[in-house]
Structure 1
Amino acid sequence: MEIIIDFNQISSSPVAFAWWFFTTIGWIYPVFLLMYGLLLTWQNYIRNRYRRQRKYILLAIDVPKNNEQSPLAVENIFAQLAAAHQPLKFHDKWWKGEINDSFSFEIVSLGGYIQFIIHARDTFRDLIEAAIYAQYPDAEITEVEDYTQKWKIKFPNDQYDLFGTELKLAKSDVYPIITYKLFEDSLSQELKDPMAGLLEALTRIGPGEEIWVQFLITPANNDWGDKAKPIINRLVGAKDSGTKDLFSRVTNLFTYALDSLLTAPSETKAGASKEPPTQMLHLTPGKKDEVAAIEHKVNKIGYHTRIRFAYLAEKSKFFKEKASKGIYGSFKQFNDLGLNSLKPDSRYLTGGIVFMKERRLIWRKTKMLIRCRNRAHFMSPGEYGFILNTEELASLWHFPMMTVKAPLVKKTEAKRAEPPMTLPLERRRTHATPADTRPAAAKVEPPQNLPIPGLYG
């Protein structure tokens, strides 16, 4: 069968050529776009339906004043919370609309009073409490109201102003940041708690001012470290044996066949015997440490992470350097210029705008407030952020040690103790008494405006 296309009949008219192209193969492109658009619409619909079913709680965590636990205890907490990871199947994604659940580990300063808070789905409450009590038996966990829901304002606002941003990594997330293990003094063997800098910055505000620091984390798959293999191979000079696509395999096969034809067998053997498998022996000490740091990071449990902070205050008290310098400065102690560092993400920074400055600044402030209030509720796969392992997260968010003297951090006043074994127990009655026949008192609900303990100190 022979197909003959006569272009002479359509070359004289561009309209005729466009019509001919559309009726032959050009119709495939708009049909593909239509089907793709319908697929995305269906996916967004079922995901929003799933989101409406989720309910959240806010847990305030208070630890004893004489806390001697190092950040390793919080690292164990993050490792245990990885049990919330849920591998989703095709039916779960495209029929139920399920998406991965996230946690928000927060440190808030309300007028200078500091509180550690965890925001999560109510179904994870038992998991969170078990993980915390396992490491901090004397901790107090209290469900509190959401401190962000009272801020239902828009910008520009006559009374309040806002500064906020999100942080991102300067390099690929397989490169680690400085962790708490490097904050130990080599002489005194004392851990210089990196949380002290952040807590001191949070105490520098007063009434009418608030600072929110949020770490939105989502458990990552266990194979998240596979993307480090090409980087390690490049650093040590090894051949990349990673998974390749079909085009790369065909190209490599053609190159190998061509080299085999143009190269003599003796030359091939001689060249192969002289080439070392890696250049590890010839690396500088800095490069060796870089490879070891990458391997150490990817061998631990990872979380997709988004870090954001916001500073809200009355305009008469607003001083954005309290956040842009004080809060961000506390994160710079985790930066390693040879490995990785945290820096503001210009896409979310409420500043540094040149073109259409006023309109874009108003839009970014409003969006930042909405993001802080919603946490990870509307995040979809692909928006969960870069990956930090449990050691890095525990370095950034952990309960202060007893050496930290920040006075306005909410802590428990005393340790809980078990009752003595010799305490006499009340004997069980086997018959009814006149007191048992009295009608039970009616239960009275507490007032709605009752202050919640543990949030404001």
Structure 2
Amino acid sequence: MANQSSWVQSLDKIFLSMMWWLIPMTIIIWLPFTRPFWWVFLAIFLSIELKKLYLWWIAWDFAYAETEWDFIEIVPPKEILTPLKAMEDVFTSMWSPLFDGANWREEWCEGELTEVPYWMSLEIVSTEGEIHFYARVMRAHRPFLESILYSHYPELEIFDTQDYTRSVPNNLPNKEWDTYGEDFVLKRPDPYPIKTYENFFEPQGERIVGEEKRIDPINSLLESMAKLGKGEHYWVQFTLMGTADNFEPKFKKDAEEIIAKLAKRPAPKKPRTFAGELGFMLNDIVFGPKKEGEGEYATYKWERPDEKEEKPGKEASLTPGERDVLTAVENKIKKPLYRTSIRGVYVAKRENFNKSNRVIFRPYVTHFLTRNLNFIGFHLGTRPKVHYWFRKMRVRFRARRMLRNYILRFPPFFPNRREGCSIFNPEEIATMYHFPLKISSTFLPSMTRVESKKGGAPSNLPIGE
């Protein structure tokens, strides 16, 4: 879908997703023996669409409209000695409040979404070179986020603030302002992990105690964002939706196939379909059973192609690289999972618009590239840049859709909440989004931070009566 033209996508959504019932109704009216009962089929088809409309109304126009959100700023200390494992634990702990699945009553009466109903957004923002860390979270989930952050980072500060997206017009691009944004996704199947913080030691393989000896790739992103000038804004957003294998069938299937391939085991068998069974039956009628042996010792056996035994390969034949990939994939899928939308948006006044600053996020995600595992790249189907057919109109449409989804914290192809998102575990997210271990002198003046350490009063402090 991402490679199709935007007008093809629109036709697909209008005619196939919404008006699909016109095709079978035309056939029913055309056939003489079903024509008298056309009203029965029409009622059935319309009831299916009415169900979709009702569930949309109660979920988004009722339940979502009443959801209370808190927008908070997180101010990190100047220096963090806590290891990055702490940030991974933050995302692991937040998975439980964000993960849920609605039953029949919750879906039809309360409007709760059937899968990944809750989400939160973590953001890094540069406003004319001034850097801030923000989070948008449901009010019911805010105590969980604050408690886990304070438990690992007792010196940081959290306070309510206004949504920074309100500082720019919401009808961009217009005559005074321009915008450009990109959604970022995994370029290989989701079970392959990216390079994580465990691999950012120097030198590799040596046990390092001092956190200052670790390479922190987020410094490069913050330094680029700190160089923005007057009238320039750059926003980075991670929208996290707690999910699991039963909500991500493609992820589970891909993981099983990758592990089976690397371990030299037979791939999991696909479930039989009616068409497949019909094909087997026709094959038996035409060719008959398979003959084994000759003469009086001959036997006949009905054989199914999908029942042929495949001998597993020897695990000892794995190369060191294959073994590393197999271990990395298994380590990823055993942890909690987030369906994640990642995007970077550049907003600036037209006289200050700098094309080189609109792709600040691209070099950052290159830090996590490993050729035999996975890497992150921008999504071709959402960025406001096209090469053919109605270019000006389509660029404007994509730019406005990008900005709208950013402000609402929605996935790239909303209401489709799966397309344009990738599956990450807490370790991968903590690698991409965390507080800088040590605030560099390059972006020190432009970053909001806690200047002094907090501590309790001395136990022997005299207290007046």
Same fold (TM over 0.5): yes
How big is the shift at 1:93?
A: 1.6
Name the CA shift for 1:345/1:362 in 2 (closer, same or farther; >3 Å). Answer: same
Q: What does residue 375 of structure 2 align with?
A: 341
Distance 2:289 2:409 in 1: 58
Is 1:131 paired with 2:154?
no
User: CA–CA distance in 1 between the matches of 2:194 and 2:300?
Assistant: 46
Is 1:388 matched up with 2:424? yes
Q: Deviation per CA, 1:207-250: give whole Å up to 9, x if none.
A: 21110000000111265563311221133332234672554995
Q: How many Å apart are 1:327 and its aligned residue?
A: 2.0
Do the aligned partners of residues 399 and 202 (structure 1) sit closer, same or farther apart at CA in structure 2, a change above 3 Å counting? Answer: same
What does 1:54-453 align with in structure 2 at a 5 Å threshold?
54-84=67-97, 85-99=99-113, 100-186=117-203, 189=208, 190-221=213-244, 226-227=252-253, 228-241=255-268, 244-245=271-272, 247=274, 261-263=290-292, 276-324=311-359, 326-376=360-410, 381-382=417-418, 385-402=421-438, 404-405=440-441, 406-407=443-444, 408-425=446-463, 427=465
Offset at residue 82 of structure 1 (A): 1.0
The corresponding residue for 1:440 is: none
Larger deviation, residues 399-408 vs 219-228? 219-228
Shift of 1:370: 1.0
Please report how far the alpha carbon of residue 339 of structure 1 lies from its aligned counterpart in structure 2 after TM superposition. 1.7
Aligned position for 1:449: none
Report the CA distance shift for 1:320/1:250 in structure 2 as closer, same or farther (over 3 A).
same
Aligned pair in 2 of structure 1 residues 17, 194: CA closer, same or farther (>3 Å)?
A: closer
1:32 Cα deviation from its structure 2 partner? 4.0
Deviation for aligned residue 1:341 = 1.2
1:67-103 alpha-carbon deviations (Å, 9 max, x no partner): 1223211101001111212232122122211131101
Report Cα offsets for 1:20-58 as digits up to 9, x if no partner: 053278777644431221111101110120011111111
Q: Report the TM-score, using the length of structure 2 for normalisation.
A: 0.79
Distance 2:88 2:52 in 1: 38
Q: Give the drift of 1:279.
A: 4.2
More moved, 230-239 vs 311-320: 230-239
- Aligned-partner Cα distance in 2 for 1:173–1:275: 27
Residue number in structure 2 paired with 1:7:
none
With over 3 angstroms needed to count, the CA separation of the structure-2 counterparts of 1:185 and 1:237, relative to structure 1, is same
- Contact preservation (8 Å) 2:129, 2:226: yes
Q: SS of 2:147's equivalent?
A: helix
The CA deviation string for residues 151-173 of structure 1, in whole angstroms up to 9 with x for no partner, is 23324411111010111111111
Amino acid across the alignment from 2:118: D
3-state SS of the aligned residue for 2:396? helix
Report percent identity of matched pairs. Answer: 25
- Distance in structure 2 (CA, Å) of the matches to 1:16 and 1:312: 53
What is the TM-score when the length of structure 1 is the normalising length? Answer: 0.81
Instruction: List, as ranges, runs of 4+ consecutive aligned residues in structure 1 with deviation greater than 6 Å.
Output: 14-17, 24-28, 251-256, 265-268
Q: What SS is found at the alignment partner of 1:413?
A: coil
Structure 1: stretches of 5+ with no match in the other structure: 1-13, 428-457
Note closer, same or farther for the CA distance 1:267–1:121 as it changes in structure 2 (3 Å cut): same
Of stretches 401-410 and 157-166 in structure 1, the one that deviates more from structure 2 is 401-410
Shift in Å, 1:360: 0.6
Aligned alpha-carbon RMSD (Å):
3.3
* Alpha carbons 1:353, 1:361 under 8 Å: kept: no
1:81 aligned counterpart, secondary structure: helix
Partner Cα separation in structure 1 for residue 464 and residue 437 of structure 2? 41
- The answer as to whether partners of 1:178 and 1:334 remain within 8 angstroms in 2 is yes
The alpha-carbon distance between structure 1 residues 251 and 423, as it changes in their structure 2 partners (threshold 3 A), is: farther
- The 3 A distance-change label for structure 1 pair 379 and 59 is farther
Q: When the two structures are aligned, how many residues end up with a matched partner?
A: 410
Gaps of 5+ in 2: 1-25, 302-306
Query: 2-side partners of 1:28 and 1:341: how far apart?
Result: 52
Deviation at 1:261, TM superposition (A): 5.0
2:32 to 20, 24, 43: 20
| Counterpart secondary structure, 1:46 | helix
Deviation at 1:342, TM superposition (A): 1.0
Q: Secondary structure at the match of 1:202?
A: helix
Q: Distance in 1 between matches of 2:74 and 2:29?
A: 70
Q: Which amino acid aligns with 1:77?
A: V
CA distance in 2, matches of 1:24, 1:281: 68
> What secondary structure, in the 3-state scheme, does the structure 2 residue paired with 1:232 have?
helix
Q: What is the CA-CA distance between 1:286 and the residue it aligns to?
A: 2.6
Aligned AA for 1:36?
A: I
Contact preservation (8 Å) 1:74, 1:394: yes
Q: For 1:251 and 1:287, locate their aligned partners in 2 and report how far apart those are by CA, in whole Å.
A: 39
- Corresponding residue for residue 433 of structure 1: none
* Inter-CA distance 418–380: structure 2 relative to 1 (3 Å threshold): farther
- Over 3 Å counting, the alpha-carbon distance change for 1:31 and 1:266 in structure 2 is same
1:434 is matched with none
Contact 2:29 2:38 in 1 (8 A): no
Relative to structure 1, the CA distance from residue 57 to residue 263 in structure 2 (aligned partners, 3 Å threshold; closer, same or farther) is farther
